Structure 1
Amino acid sequence: MSEKKLIVGHNCFLDMAHIYYKFIGPLPFSMEEFVLSVNKMLPNIIDTKHLITSNHVIQHLMKQSRKSLSSAFSVLCPQIHSDSQNSASNSFVKVDVQSDEPGSSYWSSGAKHEAGFDAFMTGCVFAQACSHLGVKFEQNSLVMDLPGNDKLKSYLNILYPSWSTGTVIDLTTGTETSASGHIRKYPKREFANIALLWGFSSKIKPKDVEECMRKFFGKDSVISVFFLDKTAAFVQFNRKELVNELMVLKNTLEKEDGLISVLHPFSKLLEGGKHSCRDYESYKEICGSSMSKFLFADQAEATVIRRKSKIASISLETSSPEHQISSKSDSEIRSGHLFSFEEILNPL
């Protein structure tokens, strides 16, 4: 950080998040706040995945190859990948390696996902990409101003928040834009349109959740269903009003104990267990809790129980004689910002 050296990673947004959390503090809820903080600490970052994806020369070399680190390593650095000692081509950057692991098997892509080898592949891919860009490495130079190199500037501080979204984020400004040369795999996130479900049966699959929603709200109502784990899921609707309707419907069906609730399209989701439905803001609150559970449903329930305890404590304090409210209507109570437990936990 103090030397402001160039940091190189491959699809390294999550790496930056880990570094921040381990050495700086809790992750901010705002994407913009997070990336600007990272840029302040580490002002020079290059993501080799962005580099090889956005540069036409390198894309031509890779042809239709995948953009994974091991694929880029095998295509761009074949002489190292195959441990070939006979490559006399000047088009490859020479990399001297010292290793306790003899034999060509050490250099195969089978070693991927081992932290040290991944770092090695990332360095090799970056060095070879620099060569294709016309950046020359001086063998005897101990200090290189890579961040200031004109041929690298356009690739500096651009990361993928998530490869599936088809967007990149500029760490210097906090702005997110569409990535060139990448087809968006999933729809754009609209957080106000997202409902959070947890506590359903482990037998429930994403297609089951989507089917239930479409049967009641309409075939075009659901944009996507994403499972956090086997106990919780996000449902993104095409309209934010449906999030409110879903929460009201869920509470209504739980109070029903007759044929209507059994025959309702949601009956499959409500089988067994404790079911809850909240909006995306509640998700942030649950994740921000100091408690940590393995399954999301356990984390959510622990957070809700803790909040209930706090509300109960406040209620006991306000029930003392000096805080008692006599013969007030519901509207008067609401205007005084006092709500029942059910209203606080299920405001809609």
Structure 2
Amino acid sequence: MIFSMLSRRFFCSGFLQERGLCTTKRWGVKQVTRSNLGPAVEQLKDQVQNADFIAVSVQCTGSHATPWRRILEFDNCESSYHKAKDSAERFQLLHFTVCPFKWSGDSKVIAFPYNFHLFPRDELRVGMPSYSFLCQISLISSMAQKGFDFNSCVYEGISYLSRAQEASLMQQYGSTRMFGAYPASSFQNKSTADINFMERIRFQMQHWIHACSASSNASEGRVVSSIETIALNNEIFGTRPCLRIDATSNHQVQLILEVLRDFTENLVPLSSSNGVGTEKELKVVFTCSEEDKHHLLSELQHQAEHQGIRDVINTIINSRKTIVGYNCLTDLAIIYSNFIAPLPATVKEFLYSLHGIFPHLLDVSHLLKEAYSKEISPTKKAKNLQAALLHLNKQFFLPMNLEVPLEFKCYGYRGPESHGYTALRLTYLFAKVCRLLKINSSNGTTDGWLEALVDYAGILYRSGTCLNKSKNEGEVVKLMGDSSYLKTSNIIFIWGFKIGSSSRILLEMLCNIHKVCEKGVKVQLVDESCAYVRFKKSRYAEIFLQDVQSGTNISGFAKSKPLEEITKMGLKAVRYDVYEKLCKSSIWKSNLADSFKLFMSESDDYMAHNFTMDIPSRKNSSFIIELEDL
């Protein structure tokens, strides 16, 4: 009896912990804002260096609520990428979670999770990265219920620029613009207040430069030096004299910079904000020579490249460690768009560029499919990270100890659904799948893990760069949850059927109107307005498509009367490549059928492109023997 009670208690505790329902007692995530960014980055550097893998995840202001705008199982690499690109460009990144982890034995993983709170604050007042973005109300409400502090996000969130934005800024304004350089042109129309303000700054600068020059040639007493420091707002920047000039607006900053153009001394202006962006102060550093000025600029440039979230990104990139994600195409697109550069136009360009940044990528969803194909049922039961973890725990008993250092526990927010736990759960899932597939490092090192996972890592790169297109065969794509490859030319999309129809009803309708639909057709609803149809052979898809578009039995395979009745009711069909072009376009409606209609009405070459293959009319088609059917 006692043994039974203890067993039940152990099982219930393990059951809850396996499902992440008791994570606050065991796990914590270090929440990083501007106030504790410096120490957190220094800790992260050491942990990344000693880690075997780095799990990453992002949290944006939402995701597309429209079903067809999400990445679906019939999407190929190109359409998937454009959907991910659209989400990355429309929604704003709020959380960037980084979790370096390392193995300690076969069933223990030590993780160091950090959740960086971000906000695109335009601190330099240069118009970047102040873009507008979409918010999904349901997700924002959910974040608020879980204790997310939006005030802290706005005021304490870490601001950032991408590499491309920084490069553009440097090219446009020169090497010192990041620290407040001289404006390219002076203001043409100045008010009387502007002129008086500039004269006051010019007078102050003349006295300060004279004082700096005099102090460099003669030693002064402490009393005189202190009086000058107070009177002139004189400070020390490192070992160099520095003058602090207060400004109440960006306009005044530009006027100050214009005044500095009149002085020939080696001055270096430094601008900074108070964090809220309403006021600024400008510091001017006095250098003793041109060589000293260049040395100071090099130091400032080095500091700019090695601070803040840029330092985090550079640490991850330079480590060359394997990056672990889950269905990570959208996450990678978001990371690339926010921290690297604008997203390229095609998936091949994106993956080529991404490979140079993250050479080792591992998507746990692919690893999980491999486990499912070998052990259990298809992965359609696990559509997201949480569902995958629950499904795996239900099917297998895989004890795994995920250890987080004690210092991280005090940083967790309330409740098991605290912010930044996604990367931690991803680490937990990855460790379990590795145990299930019996994947282990041969020598316990990072290189040993790379060797053990060589067949699973980089699947995203291989699937994106091995698109096999030809005029006859079309593009070959591997569908999610399917062990076979399928040509996209075998897929068509239909709409115009009765709203509320199920996939079974649609299949019966198609079999009633056309004979080629009796040859192993699969139908699946995309949303309530549109469905995609998979034919065994691309020739069958073309025959059906031509008959539906013409509304007549030109192929000889259609059942004429039902076909004419249904096409009169509005049944429409298009090829897969039309869907792919739709995903590339900026056209999107709440349902796929309306999106197709709008795209077709605005596309000039749609009709010419959509009728490229002629299907000859056939008489007595029931007596014709097709060689492909033998």
**Alignment TM class, shorter chain as reference:** 0.5 to 0.7
Number of residue pairs the alignment of both structures matches: 267
> Structure 1 CA distance, aligned partners of 2:564 and 2:353?
44
1:64-86 CA distances to partner (integer Å, 9 max, x unpaired)?
x98913455797886xxxxxxxx
> Structure 2 CA distance, aligned partners of 1:297 and 1:178?
23
Instruction: From 509, 512, 517, give the equivalent of 1:212.
Output: 509
1:46-195 equivalences under 5 Å are: 46-51=362-367, 68-72=388-392, 92-96=401-405, 97-98=408-409, 99-101=411-413, 106=416, 111=417, 116-126=420-430, 146=446, 149=449, 151-154=451-454, 157-159=457-459, 170=462, 174=466, 185=482, 188-195=485-492
C-alpha deviation, 1:50, in angstroms? 4.5
Are 1:40 and 2:337 an aligned pair?
no
1:35–1:174: 8 Å Cα contact kept in structure 2? no
For residue 329 of structure 1, what is the aligned residue in structure 2?
none
Provide the alpha-carbon RMSD of the alignment.
Answer: 4.9
For residue 543 of structure 2, what is the aligned residue in structure 1?
245
C-alpha deviation, 1:155, in angstroms? 5.1
1:47-104 CA distances to partner (integer Å, 9 max, x unpaired)?
3344566589x979xxxx98913455797886xxxxxxxxxxxx735323414456xx
> Structure 1 CA distance, aligned partners of 2:531 and 2:388?
28
Are 1:300 and 2:620 an aligned pair?
no
Are 1:279 and 2:575 an aligned pair?
yes
Instruction: Quote the sequence identity (%).
Output: 18
Give the TM-score taking structure 1 as reference length: 0.57
Task: Summarize the Cα distance change of 1:233–1:6 in structure 2 as closer, same or farther, 3 Å threshold.
Answer: same
C-alpha deviation, 1:296, in angstroms? 1.4
> Structure 1 CA distance, aligned partners of 2:493 and 2:454?
39
> Structure 2 CA distance, aligned partners of 1:188 and 1:172?
14
> 2:357 is matched by which residue type in structure 1?
M
1:225–1:233: 8 Å Cα contact kept in structure 2? yes
1:7-46 CA distances to partner (integer Å, 9 max, x unpaired)?
11234345445555775425636xx666444433321112
Are 1:291 and 2:587 an aligned pair?
yes
2:505 counterpart SS class: helix
For residue 333 of structure 1, what is the aligned residue in structure 2?
none
Task: Summarize the Cα distance change of 1:241–1:40 in structure 2 as closer, same or farther, 3 Å threshold.
Answer: same
> 1:286 is matched by which residue type in structure 2?
L
1:293 counterpart SS class: coil
Gaps of 5+ in 1: 79-90, 139-144, 162-168, 312-340
2:360–2:458: 8 Å Cα contact kept in structure 1? no
For residue 534 of structure 2, what is the aligned residue in structure 1?
236
1:277 counterpart SS class: strand
1:212-251 CA distances to partner (integer Å, 9 max, x unpaired)?
2223215642431122222222212223222332233224
Task: Summarize the Cα distance change of 1:250–1:149 in structure 2 as closer, same or farther, 3 Å threshold.
Answer: closer
1:194–1:235: 8 Å Cα contact kept in structure 2? yes
> Structure 1 CA distance, aligned partners of 2:493 and 2:375?
39
Bigger relative contact order, structure 1 or 2 (CA pairs below 8 A, ≥6 apart): 2
1:250-269 equivalences under 5 Å are: 250-253=548-551, 263-264=561-562, 267=565
2:371–2:433: 8 Å Cα contact kept in structure 1? no
C-alpha deviation, 1:121, in angstroms? 0.9
> Structure 2 CA distance, aligned partners of 1:134 and 1:241?
46
2:446 counterpart SS class: coil
> 2:388 is matched by which residue type in structure 1?
S
Higher Rg: 2
Are 1:25 and 2:343 an aligned pair?
yes
Give the TM-score taking structure 2 as reference length: 0.34
> Structure 2 CA distance, aligned partners of 1:239 and 1:289?
28
1:198–1:297: 8 Å Cα contact kept in structure 2? yes
1:189 counterpart SS class: strand
